[in-house]
Structure 1
Amino acid sequence: MESVQEVSQELSLAGEKQPEQLQQAAPQELKKGILKKLRGGFFLVLGYLLSPLCWWNDLLFNLPIAYFFGYMCSLLSPKLLLPCSIIGYWLSNIVGILLMQFGSADVFQNEAKERNLKKELLTGLVSSTVYTLVIMVLIQLKILDTPVLFSNG
């Protein structure tokens, strides 16, 4: 009988403390939500700057990153500069798309959902590959002109 009374007293005390705990937890949850939105916004902007959706980003972001990647690979073999620069450019676009996906999930989703990393990576890989293939086709059809860097003469 005493244990039943103890349990009922503990429950009543827990009921009294609960609103106080909720009041303390609310600002922490709000702070977490704001930090999550800020982090998501940062990733969204950074991803946009690296992605193929931003038309002016190549000169300022992607090409220097691609050249640096190619340069680092050319330290192993000088013939790797151009192929690794192309791979670096492609990878910077993939990273941009993935950062946009992660950032937009933080900014626009109110509920915490499980992320499917495989699906997000596959989506980023496919979209960047399609973008690269479209650019290559446009260059082959002479719709886009290539810089002198790629000439054979």
Structure 2
Amino acid sequence: MESVQNVSQELNVTEDTELEKVQESNPKEFKKDIFKKLRGGFLIVLGYLLSPLCWWNDLLFNLPIAYGFGYVCSFFSPKLLLPASILGYWLSNIVGILLMQFGSKEMFQKEPQEHNLKKELFTGLISSTVYTLLIVLLIHLKILDVPILFSNS
């Protein structure tokens, strides 16, 4: 029993000294790494709030952004309010997915790599399009109710 305690104490001391060596040998890189992980975590949270993965985000984030985008576009033509709002909603979902991708790369990649923006935009575009088509299908099949604003009557 004493030998187990001695081994665990030695392991704790070894871990502490290793951490101190890393912090002492490269304090700038250690701080930079922590900042990078915090920034990545912030981007993941912000992206999650804008993405279609968060079920409650629409009322608080995406719809006000979409309406604001549509409102600005309606200055050019009043008929653009609804189509531009739909486009703004779709774009806010794409931005959310892209922010989550950038944040996860910041947090989980050890070595810095170049971002392939074209590939990431394509992935975000495809996933948001699939999500939008799924919502349209659910509305068409009358699984989801739509407000009276969008009814034909």
Q: Which of the five TM-score ranges fits, normalised by the shorter chain?
A: 0.7 to 0.9
Q: Report the equivalent of 1:26.
A: 26
**Greater Cα offset, 22-31 or 42-51:** 22-31
Q: Distance in 2 between matches of 1:149 and 1:43?
A: 34
The unaligned stretches of length 5 or more in structure 1 are 1-21
**8 A contact 2:23–2:30 mirrored in 1:** no
Q: Report the equivalent of 1:6.
A: none
TM-score normalized with structure 2 length: 0.82
Task: Encode CA deviations 1:79-98: one digit per residue, 9 max, x unaligned.
Answer: 10000000000000000000
Q: Is 1:53 aligned to residue 53 of structure 2?
A: yes
Q: Distance in 1 between matches of 2:151 and 2:75?
A: 23
Q: Secondary structure at the match of 2:53?
A: coil
1:33-72 alignment, distance < 5 Å: 33-72=33-72
Deviation (angstroms), 1:57: 0.1
The unaligned stretches of length 5 or more in structure 2 are 1-21
Tell me: CA distance 1:89–1:33, structure 2 relative to 1, closer, same or farther (3 Å): same
Q: Distance in 2 between matches of 1:119 and 1:34?
A: 27
RMSD: 1.6
**How many pairs does the alignment contain?**
132
Runs of 4+ in 1 over 2 A off after TM superposition: 22-25
Deviation (angstroms), 1:24: 7.5
- Percent identity over the alignment is 76
